[in-house]
Structure 1
Amino acid sequence: MVNKKLTNNNTKDYNPEKLALGDLKLSLADSKGVRRQIPALDEHWIAREKPFGTYICMLSSYGSVKSDAALEEWQHVATGCLQDFEFLLHLRHHEFWSYMVHFESAMAAIVTFLQRANPYYRQDSNDNNATTNSNGNALSNAKMLYSQLLNHVIRLIMRLITEKESATEWIAPEHHKSLLYNNYLISVPLLCDLVIAVGDADAQNACVLQTIFDTVLRVQPEYIKDLQEGLAFYESAFLSMQIQVENEGCEGAGGGALLDPAADTPYDDVVLFALDCAYTLRLLLQLCPQLLLACEQLKLVQSIANFYDMTVPMLYRNIYMINANASSLRWLNEARQQFLNVVRTITHAQLEAARGQQLVELLQECLSSQTFVIDYQRQYPVEHDIAVLLKTCPKIKNYKVDFVIAGYQKTLSRCTSGVLADEQLSNANTDDEEEGGAQGAAMAVTTLSTVATIETGGSSGRNKRDIDLEVSAVLDVLPDLGMGFIRRLLTRYDNSEQAIAAILDDNLPPDLMHMDRQEVFIPADPQDKLQRQMGVRHYNVHDGDRYDVLTQDNPQCIIKQGKGLPGEARNAEQLLDDKRDIGQLKQRYQQYALVEETPDEAGTGAEYDDEYDDSYEALNDGQAPPISLLRAKLQQQATAANSAYEAQDASEDEQDDDESDEEQQKQAKRGPADFCENPEVTRARYQQRQQAKYGGQRQHQQGDVTGAPKGQGQSQQTTRNRGQKEAHKSSRANHNRKAGAAFKRSKGMLS
C-alpha cells in the first residue's frame, strides 16, 4: 500500500516536463522502496478523513442579527469553516483539484456558505443594529470574521476558474471546462447565490463579479444556455408567490399562521423571496448581457408587469391591514424598484440596438398592467425614449408610437398619490438620512403608485360598491353571522362570492379567524356627519337623506309650493273644467277613422294605391301615369254593388225591428208568473214567420245559388250565379270591411 505520507514530499520540480493536470502522473515510493506512477488528479491525494464543516447563517429569521449564545455558536462554526477554506487554498494544484472533484464535502462547504450568506442589500441594516446593540464589540468581530469567510470563498471560486496557476500547474482548456461542467463545480444556482452574497454596492465587488462571469462563460459557453433556461424559473416563481398571497389560510404560505415569532406578518417570506428574485435578476442581466435576448423570447417583462399589477397590490394591502409598521412594506417597495430597473435594462438595450419595433410592441403589451405603467412612467418617462428612438428608427409607424405615449401619460394622469404613500416615502427618506448609506438611498424610492392605488383608488372603488347589497347576499347564505363581522370581511375581498367561499372553506385571514362572528354593526349617525359639515345640528329624522332639500342640491322628491301639486288643478272649478281627457279620447278614435281611396286634389291618383309605383315620385306631375280606366270601372261596379247590399240589409233590419216589436207585445201579454216562454210556442211562432215570409215553399230568386236538390240537375241561371258569386265574393262578408264600416256608420254606430 502506498504510504500517504509521501504526498507531502515537496519536490521543487515535480513536473519538469510541464504537463497538464490531466496528463501528469507523479512517481512515489512506498515504505518498501517500490515506486508507483499515480495520476495527479486522483483520490490518492486526499489525506483528510474528517469532512468539511457546514456553515450556518449569521442572521436569524427575517434579517435580525444573532446575539448572545447564538452569536457565539455562529463564531465557533464560522471559525471552523474559515480554517477549512484556508486548508483548501494552501493545497498544491493537483491536490486542490483532487479535493474538489473527489471529496464531496469540500464543494458542499462552499455551496452551503453561499446559500446562507448575508444578502449584500442587508448590510446597512445589520450595521445599524450592531451599533445599537449592547454587545457591539462581539458583532464587530463577527462582521470581520464574515468578511474573511466571503473573501476566502471568492478566492476559491477564482481558483476553480483559473486554468494556469504557474508554468508547471495548469489544466488543458477542454479538460478544465469538462471538470467544471460535469462535476457541477460551477452551476447556475451557485452563480445566483454568489451575486447576492457579493453584490454591486461596491465598485470593486462589481468588478470581481464581472471577472468571474466573463471567465466562466469563456471557459464553458454551455453556461449561457443554462442561464437562459434558468430565466424560465421566474415565471413559475411569480405564479408561486401569487398563489401564496391568495391562499391566505394555508399554513406556512402567504397568510397562514406565524411559524416564526420574529416575523411581523405571515407574508414576510413571500416579500423576501420577491426581493431576492428582483436583485438576482437585475445583477444577472447586468453581468451577462447575452441574457437580454432570452428575456425577450420568454416575455419576462410581461410576466413582471403582470406580477406587478396583480400580486404586489394584494400583498401590500394584506400586510398593511395586519401591521402598518411592518418592515416587509419597505422590502416590498425595494423589490418593486428592482423590478423596474430590470425592465429598464431590457428596454434600454433595445433602444441602444435600434430595435424600435420590438420596443414599441413591448411597451404596448404592458399597457394592460395599470400599476406597472404608472410606476414605470414616473421613473422612466416613455416619451423620452420614443423621442430618441424616432431619430434612429424613423420608419416606425407614428400611430403606434402616439398610442403608446398617450396610454402611459393618461394612465399616470389618472393616478393621485395617497397619504400613506407620502408617509411611507417620508419614513424611508428619514431612515436614509440617519443611515447615510448608498443602499439606504436606493431604498428611498420616489412615490410609487401601488400604495396610492390601494389607498386612494382602492378606497374609491370600495365606495362605488354596494356594501349593503353584498351584506344581504352573505346573510342569505350564512344567516348566523353578524353584520359587523360581514362588513369587516368584505373589506378584505372584492365581492360577496369570495367572502362566502373563504368562510365555507375556513380560509379566513389570521386577524379575522378568531373574531366574534356575531358582531353587531352600528351605523354612523348621519346627524353627526351633517353637523361636522354644516356646523348646524338638525333634529329631523330625515336630515341628511336623499330627500333633504337643505343638504342635497337635487333631492329625489317633488318640491311643492302652494296648493296642489305642480301641473294639477288648484281648485274644484279648474278640475271640472279640465277637458283634456275628452280630447285624448277624440284623438284616440281619430286613429280608427276610415281612409277613403279617392283622388287627391292634384289628381295624381289615390293616396293608398296598391299599384302605385313610388319610383315616379321624383317626376313632375305631368309625367305621372294616368289612372287605369279598367280600375276606375271596377271601383264604380263595387260601389254600386255595395249600395245594393246596403239597401237590402236596411229592409231586412226593418223587418227584424217589426218582429222584435211583436215579440215585446207578446211578452207584455204574459203574466208575471211566467218565468220563461214555452219552447213549443216559440217554435210555432218561428214556423209561422217562415211561412209568412216564403209562402210555404221557398221561391228561388234571381240571384239564388242554391239551386235544385242533389241529383235533379241545376239550371243554367244557378250555375251563372255561382260563378258571379265566386268572382265578386271579396266585395261582401268579411272581405270588404269598407262596406261593413259604411253600414255601421249608417246605423249610428262608431267604429
Structure 2
Amino acid sequence: MGIPLDQQFKIEKKGIMEERLPVLHPSGMEHHYFVTYISLPPDVEDGAAVEQWTERMTFIQEDLSWLLQQDHTKFWCEVAFNKDFHSMLDSYLRYAPRPQRCIGIDHYSSIKNGKELEDSVSRLMFMCILRLSTHKESAENFFTPEGFGHVIYDNYIFDIPRLFDICSLYAINNKELLSKMIGNIFKQQEGYTRDLSDAIKSIKDVITKRMKVFLTQTGPKKLHTTATSSSQELIDLLYYILDLSCTINRFLSVNPQSKITFFHEDFHLTQVCSLIHSFETFLRAYERVQQSNEISDNIDIFEEAKYETIVLFNDLLASCCVDPLLINENKSENVESINNIFSLLITEKRFLAAYEDYFSLDQIIDIVHQTTDLLDDQQIKFYTDGVKQAIELYGTPSCQRKLISEQPSSSQPSASSNTLVKKSTNPDIQKIQDMFPHLDEKYIQVSLLNS
C-alpha cells in the first residue's frame, strides 16, 4: 500500500538550505499551456472563424490527451495549480453546446471532422472530470478522503457553478457515473453543502432581477419598444428559463439529496413561485408577439422551457412536500407548505393549466387527503374547482378532456412517480412512451419536431 499523495513530502535544495515541501506543490507543474474553448461559429461559411475554431479544438484535444496520460502526481499538480487549465475548463463548461440547444449534424457538414472534434473534446473532458472526482485511482495512487476534500475545495477544482455546468452537459447520458462522482464530492467535502445554499440564494437574486427587468421592458410604460426588440427580449428570456431549469433539473437528477437544500432555502416558494407569477405575464407577452409571427420559429424552445420549468416545480413539490407524507414524516409542516403552494397555484391559472398538461394537481390533492386529515372538504373543493376553472379557461384540448375522463385514483402513488405523466393517443408517441413511460406527450412532440 502506497502513501497518500496528500501525505507525501519532498526535500528541495535552495542554495545551502533544504526545504521540506509537499509533493502536491506548484513546483511539480509542467506549466503546460492550455488554450480556452470557443463555441462553433454561427456562420459556418466564415472560413477564418471556422479555421480558428478547428485549430483551437485540435489543441484542446491534444492538451486533454496529454493531461490524461500524466501520472497521478503530475496530473494533480497540473490541475491544482495551472491557471491555464482552469481557464480552459471554465471556458468549456460555459460555452460547450448544451443538450437542450443541440447543434444539428448538418451544421457541421461543411467542416471537415467538425462533429468528430466536438465529440472527442467532450469525451476527453468528461474523462478528465471523472479523474478529478476520484480520490483513489489504485492501491499506489490515492488521497486520504479528508485530504482529497481539501485539495478539490481549497484549489477550486470544483465549485457549485462548475458542478451545475457539468450536470447540464453530461447528466443525460452519464447519470449513473455523475451520481457517484458528485456524491463522492459532497461526501468528502462538507463545504459544498454550505456553498450550495449560498448558490441557491444567488440564483434566486439573479432570476428575481432578470424577471424584474423583463417585466419592466415588456410593460405598458415601454411604448417605444419595437416588435423586433420585444421579440428578442422574449427569446432571450426563453433561453434563460430553459437553461436554468434544465441545469437545476439535471443537477437534482444526479444528486437528489440536494433537493432538501433547495427546499430549506425556500426555493420551492420564493423562486419557483416567482416563476409561476412571471409565467402569467410571460405567456401573455408571448401570445401578443406570436400574433405578429415574429418568434414562431422558437415555439419548440417555448415548449421545452415550459416543460423543464414545470418538471422542476413538480419535482420539488413532490419530493419535499408530498412524498414525505407517504412515510408519515412531518405531516403538519408539509401540508402547510402544500397549502401555501396550492393557494398560489389556483390564482395563477395559466401556469396551472400548463401544469395540468403534464401532471395532475387533483392527484396530489387526493394523496394529501388520503394520507392526512389536514385538508377539509371545503379546502379540497376550493382547490379542485380552481383546477377545473384553469383548465376550462386555458387548458389544451387534451387537458380539457381530463375534466370528463379523469377519475379519482384509488391508490397512493408517489407524487413524483411516472403515473402522473399522461398517455398519448398518437400511436407513434405511444411507442416512445412505452419505452420511456416518464416522458410526456408534448415533450415527445417537441423532440420529434427537432429530430
What TM-score do the two structures reach when normalised by structure 1? Answer: 0.47
Q: For residue 277 of structure 2, what is the aligned residue in structure 1?
A: 306
Q: For residue 432 of structure 2, what is the aligned residue in structure 1?
A: none
Given candidates 278, 283, 287, the residue that maps to 2:245 is 278
Aligned partners of 1:99, 1:84: CA distance in 2, in Å?
Answer: 12
Distance 1:109 1:410, change over 3 A: same
Q: For residue 185 of structure 1, what is the aligned residue in structure 2?
A: 157
Instruction: For residue 249 of structure 1, report the CA deviation from its aligned partner.
Output: 8.9
Q: For residue 543 of structure 1, what is the aligned residue in structure 2?
A: none
1:196 aligns with 2:180: no
8 Å contact kept, 2:41–2:49: no
The letter of the residue matching 2:255 is: C
Given candidates 75, 83, 108, the residue that maps to 2:54 is 75
Given candidates 247, 272, 288, the residue that maps to 2:255 is 288
Identity %: 18
Helix, strand or coil for the counterpart of 1:106? helix
1:112-138, Cα deviation, whole Å (9 max, x unpaired): 111110011222x513x34xxxx7263
8 Å contact kept, 2:6–2:148: no
Q: Which has the higher contact order (CA 8 A, sep 6+)?
A: 2
Helix, strand or coil for the counterpart of 1:238? helix
Instruction: For residue 156 of structure 1, report the CA deviation from its aligned partner.
Output: 1.5
The letter of the residue matching 2:324 is: A
Aligned partners of 1:379, 1:301: CA distance in 2, in Å?
Answer: 17
Distance 1:240 1:443, change over 3 A: farther
Distance 1:234 1:327, change over 3 A: farther
Instruction: For residue 42 of structure 1, report the CA deviation from its aligned partner.
Output: 1.7
1:21-53, Cα deviation, whole Å (9 max, x unpaired): 2221346899x9x998653112222233x5311
1:365 aligns with 2:344: yes
Aligned partners of 2:124, 2:50: CA distance in 1, in Å?
Answer: 21
Q: Can you give the 5+ residue segments of structure 1 that lack an aligned partner in the other structure?
A: 1-16, 419-428, 433-437, 447-751
Q: For residue 486 of structure 1, what is the aligned residue in structure 2?
A: none
Q: For residue 404 of structure 2, what is the aligned residue in structure 1?
A: none
Distance 1:162 1:66, change over 3 A: farther
Q: For residue 316 of structure 1, what is the aligned residue in structure 2?
A: 286
Q: For residue 23 of structure 2, what is the aligned residue in structure 1?
A: 40
Alignment of structure 1 residues 588-737 onto 2, 5 Å: none
8 Å contact kept, 1:264–1:326: no
8 Å contact kept, 2:208–2:274: no
The letter of the residue matching 1:43 is: P
Q: For residue 421 of structure 2, what is the aligned residue in structure 1?
A: none
Distance 1:53 1:237, change over 3 A: same
Given candidates 38, 48, 60, the residue that maps to 1:56 is 38
Aligned partners of 2:109, 2:127: CA distance in 1, in Å?
Answer: 29
Given candidates 15, 19, 22, the residue that maps to 2:3 is 19
Q: For residue 146 of structure 2, what is the aligned residue in structure 1?
A: 174
Instruction: For residue 79 of structure 1, report the CA deviation from its aligned partner.
Output: 0.6
Instruction: For residue 102 of structure 1, report the CA deviation from its aligned partner.
Output: 2.0
Q: For residue 130 of structure 2, what is the aligned residue in structure 1?
A: 158
Instruction: For residue 441 of structure 1, report the CA deviation from its aligned partner.
Output: 6.8
Instruction: For residue 177 of structure 1, report the CA deviation from its aligned partner.
Output: 0.9
Aligned partners of 2:49, 2:217: CA distance in 1, in Å?
Answer: 32
Q: Can you give the 5+ residue segments of structure 2 that lack an aligned partner in the other structure?
A: 326-330, 398-425, 430-435
Which of the two has higher C-alpha Rg?
Answer: 1
Distance 1:167 1:36, change over 3 A: farther
The letter of the residue matching 1:386 is: I
Distance 1:340 1:441, change over 3 A: closer
Helix, strand or coil for the counterpart of 1:58? coil
1:230-256, Cα deviation, whole Å (9 max, x unpaired): 223343343333334344499xxx968
Given candidates 196, 201, 209, the residue that maps to 1:240 is 209
1:301-331, Cα deviation, whole Å (9 max, x unpaired): 3222112122x22441454255445433321
The letter of the residue matching 2:239 is: L
1:405 aligns with 2:384: yes
Distance 1:274 1:393, change over 3 A: same
8 Å contact kept, 1:58–1:66: no
Q: For residue 226 of structure 1, what is the aligned residue in structure 2?
A: 195
1:628-660, Cα deviation, whole Å (9 max, x unpaired): xxxxxxxxxxxxxxxxxxxxxxxxxxxxxxxxx
Aligned partners of 1:171, 1:341: CA distance in 2, in Å?
Answer: 39
Instruction: For residue 82 of structure 1, report the CA deviation from its aligned partner.
Output: 1.2
8 Å contact kept, 1:248–1:256: no
8 Å contact kept, 2:235–2:295: no
Q: For residue 327 of structure 1, what is the aligned residue in structure 2?
A: 297
Instruction: For residue 56 of structure 1, report the CA deviation from its aligned partner.
Output: 0.4
Q: For residue 104 of structure 2, what is the aligned residue in structure 1?
A: 126
1:485-516, Cα deviation, whole Å (9 max, x unpaired): xxxxxxxxxxxxxxxxxxxxxxxxxxxxxxxx
Aligned partners of 1:330, 1:240: CA distance in 2, in Å?
Answer: 26
The letter of the residue matching 1:442 is: Y
Distance 1:386 1:146, change over 3 A: same
8 Å contact kept, 2:168–2:246: yes
Aligned partners of 1:164, 1:51: CA distance in 2, in Å?
Answer: 27
1:383 aligns with 2:362: yes
8 Å contact kept, 1:27–1:38: yes
Helix, strand or coil for the counterpart of 1:444? helix
Helix, strand or coil for the counterpart of 1:380? coil
1:463-486, Cα deviation, whole Å (9 max, x unpaired): xxxxxxxxxxxxxxxxxxxxxxxx
1:340 aligns with 2:310: yes
Helix, strand or coil for the counterpart of 2:7? coil
Instruction: For residue 188 of structure 1, report the CA deviation from its aligned partner.
Output: 0.8
The letter of the residue matching 1:338 is: E
Helix, strand or coil for the counterpart of 1:265? helix
Q: For residue 408 of structure 2, what is the aligned residue in structure 1?
A: none
8 Å contact kept, 2:6–2:24: yes
Distance 1:226 1:319, change over 3 A: farther
Given candidates 68, 82, 89, the residue that maps to 1:89 is 68
Instruction: For residue 225 of structure 1, report the CA deviation from its aligned partner.
Output: 2.4
Write 1 or 2 for the structure with the bigger share of helix. 2
The letter of the residue matching 1:54 is: T
Given candidates 117, 120, 123, the residue that maps to 2:96 is 117
Distance 1:398 1:417, change over 3 A: closer
Distance 1:65 1:122, change over 3 A: farther
1:99 aligns with 2:81: no
Helix, strand or coil for the counterpart of 2:344? helix
8 Å contact kept, 1:264–1:327: no
Aligned partners of 2:156, 2:358: CA distance in 1, in Å?
Answer: 40
Helix, strand or coil for the counterpart of 2:138? coil
Q: For residue 186 of structure 2, what is the aligned residue in structure 1?
A: 217
Distance 1:192 1:65, change over 3 A: farther
Aligned partners of 1:228, 1:388: CA distance in 2, in Å?
Answer: 30
Distance 1:361 1:416, change over 3 A: closer
Aligned partners of 2:202, 2:18: CA distance in 1, in Å?
Answer: 53
What TM-score do the two structures reach when normalised by structure 2? Answer: 0.76
CA RMSD of aligned residues (A): 3.7
1:269 aligns with 2:236: yes
Q: For residue 725 of structure 1, what is the aligned residue in structure 2?
A: none
Distance 1:248 1:24, change over 3 A: same
Q: For residue 87 of structure 2, what is the aligned residue in structure 1?
A: 108
The letter of the residue matching 1:372 is: F
8 Å contact kept, 1:377–1:409: no
Aligned partners of 2:368, 2:341: CA distance in 1, in Å?
Answer: 14
